[in-house]
Amino acid sequence: MSGTETTETTNLTLVQAVRDALHDEMARDDRVVVLGEDVGVNDGVFRATEGLYDEYGAERVIDTPLAESAIAGTAVGMAAFGLRPVAEIQFMGFIYLAFDQIVSHAARLRTRSQSSFNVPLVVRAPYGGGVHAPEHHSESTEAMFAHMPGLKVVIPSTPYDTKGLLTASIRDPDPVIFLEPKSRYRASREAVPTDSYTVPLGEAAVRREGTDVTVFAWGGMVAPTLEAAENLAEEGIDCEVVDLRTISPMDVDTIVSSFEKTGRAAVVHEAPYTAGMAAEITATIQEESLLLQEAPIERITGWDTHYPLYASEDFYRPGVTRIEHGIRNAAGF
């Protein structure tokens, strides 16, 4: 952590931590503006922007039409000309309409203009399942954005990290995709400093020390992975759990050092199996530490199909039982 001067804290949920970071940065920097569908008068679909409209007014908390491409395009223009926009896409499943603006403009403008322009833009979106939402509301397509040069992709798993990572993202000089696990929005509370602080982008966190298998996860998969690790400890399997926190850029040093400690690994994510981030992590480990590898790396993921309606959600999304099974495979090979 950096940038905080007091130890005073308050217990916040993850979504309250989002709101806290937005409030603090808007108070600190007049250039920070929030825009998106229902973020103003209605306080946001999940209340992530609650009270901001009343405090900062319609010029800095801007309700937009239902037009994701326009939200992203407007934010790119704002950022290029000196503002610090934080654009909200209500659900990740609707972000495809903004994809061209994000990839063709936000991610490229610095390179295209030879650094005459940069784009200090944050695109926030709730992602992932676990809340029995309709179609298009539970997407987990973070790998698409991680593949794009010029974008950072940040995914917090705790309230503390959410405030610090979002603050760091808003202060970053280049575009950041900030994906919030909505299954964790109100799942727990944590002591969060009342003062502003940052958590550095690109640094993973070791959530649990272990010696037998390293398990990599992020966002909504960290909590069930930690629960699985505690259950497996009773069977004598000691897991180390690494929360990536930022998947682009990835913290390769922490990934490799943890794997070299255990020699066995599993990766857990909600996204489909094929070409997901687990494949990239697996390839990275094999490039860096092949001779220390004791077992095939397990990929515990969603399936290669569209995210299902909620009746099948618990089958699609990795849960504690499936995570435990994958880890046992890695440990027992």
How many other C-beta atoms lie within 10 A of the C-beta of residue 113?
A: 12
Going from the C-alpha of 158 to that of each of 205, 248, 268, 296, the distances in angstroms are 11, 18, 17, 30
Q: Looking at the chain, list the stretches that DSSP marks H as alpha helix, in order from N- to C-terminal side.
A: 14-28, 52-56, 68-80, 99-100, 109-112, 142-146, 159-171, 222-233, 252-262, 277-289, 313-316, 320-332
Cβ-count burial 247-269 (b if 16+ within 10 Å, e if not): bbebbeebbbebbeebbbbbbbb
Q: What is residue 282's three-state secondary structure? A: helix
Taking a C-beta distance cutoff of 8 angstroms, is the pair 215, 266 a contact?
yes
Annotated active-site residue 325? The verdict is no
Place of tokens 């806290």: 20
6 class by beta-carbon count within 10 Å (0-12 exposed, 13-18 middle, 19+ buried): exposed
Catalytic member of 23, 132, 136, 137: 137
Cβ-count burial 43-77 (b if 16+ within 10 Å, e if not): bbbbbbbbebbeebeeebbbebeeebeebbbbbbe
Which sequence positions are flagged as catalytic? 137
